[in-house]
Amino acid sequence: MDIQSLLDEMIANPIIAAIRSPEALSQALQSPPTALFLLSSSINDAADAVRRVRAAGKHSFLHVDLMDGLRPDAQGMSFVASQIRPDGIITTKPGCIRMAQNLGLLAVQRIFLLDSSALRDGEANVRSCRPDLVEVLPGVAVQAIRLAVDAFDRPLIAGGLIRTREEVMAALGAGALAVSTGERALWSL
């Protein structure tokens, strides 16, 4: 999958299903979102989850920082690319971004915008590692999303704590390209 195709899909359907359980995965596979963030997995079950996502015609992004049994280093990223084969990864680690992209995976840099220092550090990380997308948390912080849109020259995803239609619309209105949420009722917006 190339980044432009993904961006086009996100424009058409800006909701990303954030998956933390097998039950949520089953529901997401039957829901409209075409991109799924797999936020809770292990090396024992990730490949099966990715296969199921691909079979449903959707795109999987594996949060490698949260994956049990995986160390997100060069060997771990090589294992993800060759054995699990998601469309992309999510990480807070700039080094993982570069490794993933070198292995042909799309990369989402996750940044927690807690204060102006986190914004500056995030901007420096995005400039140095050039992720394909940036996910900003918390997604309900509309002013933080606006600041991130101005600071980062990458497409932005808002994630974290988004539970209502109004919060989705506010994040998109603030400049986010898409919204990631585990709130299943929002997956059909």
Mean pLDDT (the chain) is: 97
**What single-letter DSSP state applies at residue 108?**
E
Given pLDDT bands bounded at 50, 70 and 90, which one contains residue 26?
Answer: very high
The pLDDT of residue 1 is above 90:
no
Residues 6+ apart with CB under 8 A from 47: 83, 84, 85
The pLDDT of residue 159 is above 90:
yes
Give all strands (DSSP E) within 11-66, no chain letters.
15-19, 35-38, 41-42, 59-63
Could you tell me what percent of the chain has a pLDDT over 70? 100
**Joined tokens for residue 55:** 């079979």
Mean pLDDT computed over 166-186: 98
Q: Where are the domains of the chain?
A: 3-179
Angle of helix 116-129 versus helix 94-102 axis, rounded to 10: 20
**Joined tokens for residue 87:** 């469309």
Instruction: Give the tens place of pLDDT for each residue, 45-92.
Output: 999 999 999 999 999 999 999 999 999 999 999 999 999 999 999 999
Mean pLDDT computed over 109-127: 96
Instruction: Give the tens place of pLDDT for each residue, 126-150.
Output: 999 999 999 999 999 999 999 999 9
Architecture per CATH, domain 3-179, reads as Alpha-Beta Barrel (3.20)
Mean pLDDT computed over 25-46: 97
Instruction: Give the tens place of pLDDT for each residue, 8-24.
Output: 999 999 999 999 999 99
